[in-house]
Amino acid sequence: MFGTKEYDELMKDVSALLWVDENTVPTVMAYGRHDVFQPYEGSVRLDEALTNAGVDHKYFVLEHSGHGLQNDNKVYKEYLDSVEEYLNKYMPVK
């Protein structure tokens, strides 16, 4: 069933990838390469979909971390700084 239209319909409610189009909101995302809960390969596909749809986004890979993003302090700080940057850009305080 994997890779079929039926599968995509069943998974759409839990898959960010299946919602990506040119109207997707700007995104900042970070993934741990050793994540066993949300496999890293899924983040690669999501990054590709956002790029192909022309969505403004930043993608951070934490090479030594799992789901908790716990082992790459420098990259984690860059990720958090980018979240703040995007909030200021797309949701400025008036």
Q: How far apart are CA 74 and CA 82, in angstroms?
A: 12
CA angle 37-40-46, nearest 5°? 110
pTM score above 0.75:
yes
Task: Enumerate the β-bridge partners of residue 29.
Answer: 59
pLDDT average, residue stretch 25-48: 94
Write the pLDDT tens digit of every residue in 8-27.
777 777 778 888 999 999 99
